[in-house]
Structure 1
Amino acid sequence: MAAPATAAEALTGLARIRPAGWLATPMPTDEQTLLARARRALDADHPGVAGTLRLVAARYTAAVFTVHTPTGPQILKLHADPGAFAGESLAYDLLADAASVARLHSEGEASSSLLLEYLPQAAAWSSPETVTALAECVAAVHTASLRLDVAAVEAMAPFGTGRQLHGPAPYWITDTAAWGEVLAMYQDAYGPGLVPLGHLDLKPEHLRRRDTGELVLLDVETVRPDVTGLIDLVTLPAVYRQAGHDLSPARVLDVYLEAACARGASWTAVSLKEALRAFATATGLRGLHGLDT
C-alpha cells in the first residue's frame, strides 16, 4: 500500500469530529465583505492597531489577514464560530509559555478575532535539523500541560487523563474499550494530570522561523484536550514526506519518542506502538503506516 501523500490522507477512516455543514453561518467568501468585517474587528476590539489589510486566506471556518501597521505587520484572524474562537484563544493561553507557537498579541471576543505574530519566514526544510525541530515543537504542545501554572492546572483538571479515564468516552469514539486502553497508557506515560492535547493542523508550511532562528508552529486552532497527540504522530510521516524528507516509520517514531521523553514522557517504543494500535481501534483509523511495526 502506498504511503499517504498528505496529513489528511494519513488519517483515512478516522471518525469525524464534526459532520459536513456543521456550521450554521460559515465565513463569507467575498473579499470586500471580509475586508470590511476585518476593519470593524480592528476598530472594535484592537484599539490602536491600524494599517493596510490584505486577505491571506478565507476558509469555511475562518479568514486570515495581514495588517501592515507602521511598526510592522501582524496577523488578524476572524472566526465564523465563536466556539472555535474560544478554543483557539484558550490554546494560545495554554501554550504561550510551554511550546513554540505564534505569539497572541490581543483578542476580541465581540468579533471573534485574534491578533497574532507575523511570521513570514518558512522553516529551512533542506536542513536535517528541521526534522528534529518539528518533532520537538509537536512534543512540546503534547506535553504543555505538564508545565502550566497552578491556576491553569486547576482550570484544566477535568481534562486530565485520570479524569477522562473514569468518564464517558467522546461521542466520536467508535470503540470505548480501546479508548480506555489509550487513556490508561497515557496515564502510565505521563501521570493522571496530563491534559492530552493534540490534533494540530500539521503541514510543512505551518512551521515558521523567527529572526532569532527559533522554529514556531502556526495555527493551533484545532488543538483539543480529548484527542491525544497520537493523531499528530500518525500524520508526521506524511508531513515530513511533503517537506522532502522520506523518513522510515521507525525513524519518525524514534524522533518523536526522543522529543516526548525529553519533555516528561516515559514512553518506550513498545508502549507507544501499543498506544497507536489502541488509538486506531478506538477511532476507526484504517492504518498506522508502519509506525506500529
Structure 2
Amino acid sequence: MITAPATAAEALTGLARVRPAGWLATPMPADPAALLARARQALADDHPGVLGRVSVVSARYTAAVFAVHRAEGSLVLKLHADAAAYAGETLAYALLADTAPVTLLYAEGESSLSLLLEYLPEPVDWTRTGMPAVLAESVAAVHTASLRLSDYVAEAMADFSLVALHGAPAPAWITNPAAYGEVLAAHQDAYGPTLVPLGHLDLKPEHLRQRADGQVVLLDVESVRPDVTGLIDLVTLPTVLRQAGHELSPARVLDLYLEATAARGASWTAASLKAALRAYAAATGLESLHGLDR
C-alpha cells in the first residue's frame, strides 16, 4: 500500500492506494488531553529518564509527534498506532543513520511504539544558494544508503536486495509485474545486485530542517520502503522544489539527480533513467512523469 503525501499528490496521481476508513483497530486518540496522556505514559514506560514539559506537534490517525521541552535540550517523541509502521521506521533509521542526512534517533520504546529523536526546530532557508542541488543530494544519499552499509547490516538486508526482489513475486500494489521487473533490472544495471532500493520519502519543503552548523536534514523516514525504489521520490522532486520557490525544468531536475547519484556510486545515464521512469509509470499506474522522461 502506498499513500501519497498531501504535497506530493499532484505528482503521484494514479499511484496512490488509499486505505479504507477504520483499517487501524486502535488509532491515535483525537482528544488533545488523551494524546498528552499517552505521550507521558510512553515516557514513563520506555524512557523513564526523560523528563520535561510535553507539547503536541502534530497528530494524525496513525502517529503523533510531541516535543519534550527540557533544560538540557529538547527532544522529539514520536508515537505510532501501527506496529508495522513503527517497525518500518526503526528499520529505516537503522539503515540510514550512518549513511544519509536524517534526524538522529536516540532511543526506541517497543512497548509504547515510540521513538526519541533529535529536535530540529530550524527550517531550511530555501533562498540559500544551491538548495535544489542540496535537496537532490539529500534524496540521493537515502537512495544509495545501502551501498554503504556495514557487512553485518548488508547481510541482514540481503532478502531485500535487488537480486532477491528480482526473483520474487511483484508486490501486490504493482499493476504491471513485467514493467516492475524492468524497473528492478534498470536499478541493478545502475547500482549492482546488492542495492536495497530504498525510496518513498515523505517529501515536502517543511520536512527539511537544518542543524546549528547549517547541515540540511531530512525529517520523517517512516514511509521509506525497500520495494518502492527511489523513482517515486524523483517524480516528486519538481513539485517539492516548486512549492519551495524553485521553478526548475524537468531536464534540470533530472540532471541534479543524475549528478547526485553518480557521486554516490550510481551509473545511471539520462537515457537509462528515463527508461526506468517510463517502466515505473507502467508498473504502478502513475499517470504522469511531468516531463522527466523527455
- Describe the SS at the equivalent of 1:99: coil
Partners of 1:168 and 1:18 in 2: how far apart?
22
Partner of 1:176: 177
- Computed over aligned residues only, the root mean square deviation of the Cα atoms, in angstroms, reads 1.1
Q: Which runs of 5+ in 2 are unaligned?
A: 1-5
TM-score between the two structures when normalised by the length of structure 1: 0.97
The equivalences for 1:88-237 within 5 A come to: 88-237=89-238
Partner of 1:79: 80
Give how far 1:197 is off: 0.2
Contact 1:105-1:115 at 8 Å conserved across structures: yes
Q: Which runs of 5+ in 1 are unaligned?
A: none
Give how far 1:26 is off: 1.3
Q: Note closer, same or farther for the CA distance 1:258–1:19 as it changes in structure 2 (3 Å cut).
A: farther
Contact 1:77-1:113 at 8 Å conserved across structures: yes
- Describe the SS at the equivalent of 2:9: helix
Partners of 1:21 and 1:231 in 2: how far apart?
27
Q: Note closer, same or farther for the CA distance 1:251–1:268 as it changes in structure 2 (3 Å cut).
A: same
Partners of 2:21 and 2:15 in 1: how far apart?
14
Q: What letter is aligned with 1:61? A: T
TM-score between the two structures when normalised by the length of structure 2: 0.96
Give how far 1:270 is off: 0.4
Partners of 1:115 and 1:125 in 2: how far apart?
27
Partners of 1:254 and 1:218 in 2: how far apart?
24
Q: Please say if 1:251 is aligned against 2:252.
A: yes
Contact 1:15-1:173 at 8 Å conserved across structures: no
Runs of 4+ in 1 over 3 A off after TM superposition: 17-21
Q: Please say if 1:280 is aligned against 2:281.
A: yes
Partners of 1:201 and 1:60 in 2: how far apart?
16
Partners of 1:17 and 1:258 in 2: how far apart?
34
Partner of 2:3: none
Q: Please say if 1:270 is aligned against 2:274.
A: no
Partners of 1:152 and 1:245 in 2: how far apart?
37
Give how far 1:206 is off: 0.5
Q: Note closer, same or farther for the CA distance 1:283–1:21 as it changes in structure 2 (3 Å cut).
A: farther
Give how far 1:244 is off: 0.3
- Describe the SS at the equivalent of 1:101: coil
Give how far 1:17 is off: 7.2
Partner of 2:58: 57
